[in-house]
Amino acid sequence: MKANLSLIVLFFILFFNPCQSESPNEWIKIANAELERALKTERIIQRPKNVVFFLGDGMGIATSTGARIYKGQINGRNGEEGSLTFEKFPHVGLSKTYNDDAQVPDSAGSATAFFSGQKAALGVIGLNSNARYGNCSSAQGNHITSILEWAQKAGKATGIVTTTRITHATPAGTYAHTPDRDWETYVNGSDDADRAGCKDIARQLVEDLPGRDIRVIFGGGELHFLPTNETDSWSKNLTGTTYANYRVHHKQLLNFEGLRWKPPPLYWFQCP
């Protein structure tokens, strides 16, 4: 045990290289540089031509702090003194992320707040605070619009690019209206009459506005658009594994014939 401990101590002595902290004068230089940068920041008065809404799901203060420290340490510094690229933007602010009925938010209510400007209940997408989680009837008359729909009404072409499923709560916040984020393929406990007024998220993307007018869609989740009796040839050819599709009651949704997309949208499923 003592021998092992000695080896560990020797390892740290030989290989641990303590980072050099900033001198008092260095902090003064940093402060002056930041002040000069702020004073030179020009006010933006022109209307932007395009808008890119980049949303890092779950990327709160703690996550950003960890990323900042890691970035600095892999570059031989302490880490805390550095900055991430977006922290150097000329205008940076903070927002309170909580749901209408919960202190700790989820992606559904947060995406609704980000994209629509209104708080929503935990697990609810694209509905105001009158809608209740899992209650299909509460969705009626409580739909709210998103920045994606506003852009379409302004004559802009719109698109979604995501590293998760395109029916996941975060990207779905741009086009879907549902009291349950998990109704990506099937509305649990609903009969056909209910489904007419409370569609699953995949159907909303393909059949309803603003989803059907989205021009570019990159993401995963192909299985939510294909029926269980079809083989997912794309994933089989790519990975050698055939995955089970999820749609039970409806035909596959990837047949774009008859839809109003002109020209056809650019879409790609990066994973099943």
Q: Please identify every residue annotated as catalytic.
A: 107
Dihedrals phi, psi of 172, to nearest 5 degrees:
-65, -20
Q: 203: which 2 tokens?
A: 């159907």
259, 206 Cβ separation under 8 angstroms = yes
Longest CA–CA span in the chain (Å) reads 77
Side by side, which strands form the sheet with 159-165?
159-165, 216-220, 266-269
Q: In angstroms, what CA-CA distances link 172 with 109, 128, 146, 232?
A: 11, 15, 10, 23
92, 108 Cβ separation under 8 angstroms = no
Return d(Cα 83, Cα 33) in angstroms, integer. Answer: 14
The position carrying tokens 């902090």 is 27
Q: How does strand 216-220 pair with strand 159-165?
A: parallel
Return d(Cα 61, Cα 213) in angstroms, integer. Answer: 35
